[in-house]
Amino acid sequence: MKHFTVTSFLVLFLAVTAFQTASAVSPNWNNTEGPRGGSVWALHVAGGGNILAGTLGQGVFFSTDGGENWLQSNLDNVSVYDFAHGSGDTYFAATQNGVYRSDNNGRSWRRMVQGMDETRAQAVLVHETGRVFAATLVGGIYVSDDNGASWTQANAGIPLTFGYALGVLADGTVLAGVTNKIYRSDDGGNQWEPVDADLPQVRANAMAVNGDGTVFVATQDGVYRSADAGQTWQETGSQFADKEVYDLVVASDNKLVAATRGGLYTSTDNGDNWEPDGLAGQPVYSLGYGGGVLAAGANPGVFIRN
């Protein structure tokens, strides 16, 4: 999830010039020149040329040819912050108007908010058990055991309920960024405990887990990692020109990619060191990886690298 702030809005306005020159300064990235729907704050790359792009205020766009052409879905005029893949052709989208579900690879969407008192969803996650998690503003964490048809609030152990980010470990442990803390649940979201003793009191924007089980959290103050399911944390990313990190993704060979206000950075040593990796000086808000394709969402549009 990439949380939107007033400061971020100002950056969006200033980013237009950077976008116009990005192709020149980032030769390894292909500007898809779409979608023409504003800044891209959510991405999902499914492989086979299928890409979902969630925009700020213009809804969901999809491409079936690796970004060469984009079509707008029926979910429009809404801000989209996150995607999660369910089973088969099913996807979920976290939006300002709640959680939406698509059963046809993102071509069309239905609003799924029964049981939600708070519908401003910031992040969504599908657990291996089939349970769907949604992090919402004010309402905290909601869970659904019927593919999004109905929701139940699940904030036991979480006193403040501004939910921003979700992540899951290989053993099924769920992590949630709520207000300015990280919480962990070992029982599918029924009970939560704080696991952020070494973290500053800053908002988590996104989470990623690599093949070794190391958890990385993108925050307003850089990237933090934990090798013990959140019990202890270490700061990484001192090389970032701007410390706010909007999104993280694990690409091939455990390469970690970070989207920041100042472009992209990559690490091949578990976050010990980071190197600039294109789109320098340009805010990048979202990342997606699948089928050997890395996608970056900027303002406006999507950049692709194979």
Tens digit of pLDDT for each residue in 64-91?
999 999 999 999 999 999 999 999 999 9
pTM for the model: 0.90
Report if residue 64 sits inside a domain: yes
Distance from C-alpha of 273 to C-alpha of 82, rounded to nearest angstrom: 27
Report if residue 234 sits inside a domain: yes
Q: State residue 27's pLDDT score.
A: 55
Per-residue model confidence as pLDDT tens digits over 3-24: 544 344 444 444 444 444 444 4
Report if residue 109 sits inside a domain: yes
Average pLDDT over residues 25-54: 88
Report if residue 1 sits inside a domain: no
Which positions ≥6 away from 136 have C-beta within 8 Å? 116, 118, 119, 120, 121, 122, 142, 161, 163
Q: Residue 33, by phi and psi: left (phi above 0), alpha (psi -120 to 50) or beta?
A: left
Report if residue 201 sits inside a domain: yes
Distance from C-alpha of 207 to C-alpha of 213, rounded to nearest angstrom: 12
Report if residue 94 sits inside a domain: yes
Number of domains in the chain: 1
Q: Hey, how many other C-beta atoms are within 10 angstroms of the C-beta on 90?
A: 18
Q: State residue 3's pLDDT score.
A: 54
What is the extent of the structural domain holding 255? 6-305
Beginning with the edge strand found earlier in the chain, give each strand of the sheet holding 30-31 in spatial order.
Answer: 30-31, 302-305, 293-297, 286-290
Report if residue 224 sits inside a domain: yes
Q: Hey, how many other C-beta atoms are within 10 angstroms of the C-beta on 227?
A: 14
CATH, residue 143: 2.130.10.10
CB 144 within 8 A of CB 95: no
Distance from C-alpha of 167 to C-alpha of 257, rounded to nearest angstrom: 16
Average pLDDT over residues 239-266: 90
Compare 132 and 212 and report the one with higher pLDDT: 132
Report if residue 174 sits inside a domain: yes
Q: State residue 41's pLDDT score.
A: 97
